[in-house]
Chains A and B, each alone.
Chain A
Amino acid sequence: QVQLVQSGAEVRKPGASVKVSCKASGYTFTNYDVTWVRQAPGQGLEWMGWMNPNSGNTGFARRFQGRVTMTSDTSINTAYMELSSLTSEDTAVYYCARGIRNKLFSDSWGQGTLVTVSS
């Protein structure tokens, strides 16, 4: 079955960076995109961006451009999302999800990774 397993919770100081991993299994990794969505405590879902593991192409929501990097290692079916210049407003659960190519709705989700930004 399709599974996306994310790395564990992280704590960072303001100004630092964080890198979250997402290991996929149960499907051909390069046939689907990977999307990243975050959810601040008690808030709704916020779409961050996507990447195509086959081509390396990416697209980001405007508010994250210049601050987010999305990459993948197809040899181990793993996607990564790195967010830099963290502030307390970046405290959230970060989800990776399998994205349907050219549409980018997500049919399978990781369990989420809590990133806490605190001094």
Chain B
Amino acid sequence: VLTQSPGTLSLSPGERATLSCRASQSVRGDYLAWYQQRPGQAPSLLIYDASSRAAGIPDRFSGSGSGTDFTLTISRLEPEDFAVYYCQQYGWAPRSFGPGTKVEIK
């Protein structure tokens, strides 16, 4: 089971966002991904293997962590970054998602 915190993060553009994803058991290989989902759109991949940025993702997005505790950091929020973020583990079957963190404009 994956849990994400906080459920909602209220920040202003330009601020730093720190999102947490915690697993109930160690994630094999640190096989954890982060996705962004804007309203009315499909999810899009940001980070895979805990810390590798997907193609075309700006470097203000970074992932870190290992074992059971992982973090997505957005160094300076841009207007387009206000969205819902999901973590996904693919270290064990079945793959699963966390419940999501909504980053909203304060």
Tell whether, in the assembled complex, residue A47 and residue B42 are in contact, meaning their CB atoms are under 8 Å apart: no
B63 close to chain A: CB less than 8 A: no
Contact string, B20-38, partner A, CB cutoff 8 A, digits 1/0? 0000000000010101010
The SS class assigned to the A binding surface is strand
Q: How many A-B contacts are there with CB distance less than 8 Å?
A: 57
Q: Which of A46, A50, A108, A110 contacts B97 (CB 8 A)?
A: A46
Q: Which of A35, A49, A95 contacts B42 (CB 8 A)?
A: A95
B61 close to chain A: CB less than 8 A: no
Residues of B near A108 (CB, < 8 A) are 45
A59 close to chain B: CB less than 8 A: yes
* Residues of A in contact, count (CB < 8 Å): 24
Tell whether, in the assembled complex, residue A105 and residue B88 are in contact, meaning their CB atoms are under 8 Å apart: yes
Contact string, A101-112, partner B, CB cutoff 8 A, digits 1/0? 001111111111
Tell whether, in the assembled complex, residue B42 and residue A61 are in contact, meaning their CB atoms are under 8 Å apart: no
> 30 A-B contacts, Cβ less than 8 Å apart?
A44-B86, A44-B97, A44-B99, A44-B100, A45-B86, A45-B88, A45-B97, A45-B100, A47-B88, A47-B94, A47-B96, A49-B94, A59-B93, A59-B94, A60-B94, A61-B94, A95-B42, A95-B43, A103-B48, A104-B90, A104-B95, A105-B33, A105-B45, A105-B88, A106-B45, A107-B48, A109-B43, A110-B42, A111-B42, A112-B42
Q: Give B contacts to A, CB under 8 Å.
A: 31, 33, 35, 37, 42-45, 48, 54-55, 86, 88, 90, 93-100
Q: Give A contacts to B, CB under 8 Å.
A: 35, 37, 44-47, 49-50, 59-62, 95, 100, 103-112
